[in-house]
Chains A and B, each alone.
Chain A
Amino acid sequence: DQQVKQNSPSLSVQEGRISILNCDYTNSMFDYFLWYKKYPAEGPTFLISISSIKDKNEDGRFTVFLNKSAKHLSLHIVPSQPGDSAVYFCAASASGGVDKIIFGKGTRLHILP
Chain B
Amino acid sequence: SAVISQKPSRDICQRGTSLTIQCQVDSQVTMMFWYRQQPGQSLTLIATANQGSEATYESGFVIDKFPISRPNLTFSTLTVSNMSPEDSSIYLCSVAKGQGVLGNTIYFGEGSWLTVV
Binding site of B, secondary structure by majority: helix, strand, loop or mixed?
strand
Contact across chains for B99 and A49 when beta carbons are under 8 A apart: yes
Instruction: Say which size band chain B's interface belongs to.
Output: 20 to 34
Contacts of A34 in B (CB 8 A): 105-106
Contact across chains for B42 and A51 when beta carbons are under 8 A apart: no
> A25 near B: Cβ within 8 Å?
no
Contacts of B96 in A (CB 8 A): 97
Contacts of B101 in A (CB 8 A): 51, 96
* Chain B CB within 10 A, most for which of A44, A51, A100, A106: A44
- Which of chain A's residues has its CB closest to B111's CB? A43
A103 to B36, CA, bound (A): 11
Contacts of B98 in A (CB 8 A): 97
List residues of B whose CB falls within 8 A of some A CB. Answer: 1, 4, 6, 33, 41-45, 48, 58, 92, 96, 98-99, 101-111, 113
Contact sample, A vs B, 13 pairs, CB 8 Å cutoff: A31-B103, A41-B111, A43-B4, A46-B107, A49-B103, A51-B102, A97-B105, A98-B103, A100-B33, A100-B48, A101-B106, A102-B45, A103-B42
Q: Other than the known A34-B106, A91-B106, what 4 A-B pairs have Cβ atoms closer than 8 Å?
A: A43-B111, A93-B104, A101-B45, A105-B41
